[in-house]
Structures are given as structure tokens and as C-alpha cells.
Amino acid sequence: MQRAIEEAGISTVSVTLFRQLAVKLKLPRVVSLRFPFGFPLGRREDQQRKIIQDALDALGSITEPGTIIDLPYIWEG
């Protein structure tokens, strides 16, 4: 899906919990977190906002296709 959107000229960014799969699929732009599955943005609302903002920032800052940014957040749960 992401590739098709990119081909239409719209930039995308994925948030992933499975970095190895993002590497294998060669996704255009990715932010990666080490959280449990089912909680891609964390549990706290303030942390969710920060992660979404980081993903949007990555959308504008990543210039090299296939770039993955590992976000520094720690799972609190």
C-alpha cells in the first residue's frame, strides 16, 4: 500500500514494531519502536503524540529511500 501511495507522488512514513520486516520490504520511510505488538504508539497519550510528531518530522527529513529511524522511547508497562 505504501509503495502505491508513493508512486502516486505522496510521501509516506510507516511506524513499525518489526524493524526486520521493514528492512526486508524496503519501505520508503520508517520509524521503528521496540514496543510490544498491539501498542505501536505506546500507552500514554502524551507519548503517543510525541511518536506521531516524530513520524511526521521523519516524513519531511528523510531524503534517502529505505531510511529507518529508531525512536528512543522505552516501553512503560
State pLDDT tens for residues 28-39: 999 999 999 989
With CA atoms as reference, report the closest residue to 33 among 54, 59, 12: 54
Name the pTM for this structure: 0.89
The per-residue pLDDT for 7 is: 92
Q: Is the dihedral of CA 59, 65, 66, 71 positive or negative?
A: negative
| Mean pLDDT value across residues 33-61 | 95
The per-residue pLDDT for 41 is: 94
Instruction: Write b or e for each residue in 27-38: b if 16 or more Cβ atoms lie within 10 A of its Cβ, otherwise e.
Output: bbbbbbbebeee
Question: Does residue 2 carry a pLDDT above 90?
Answer: no
Query: Cβ(68)–Cβ(28) under 8 Å?
Result: no
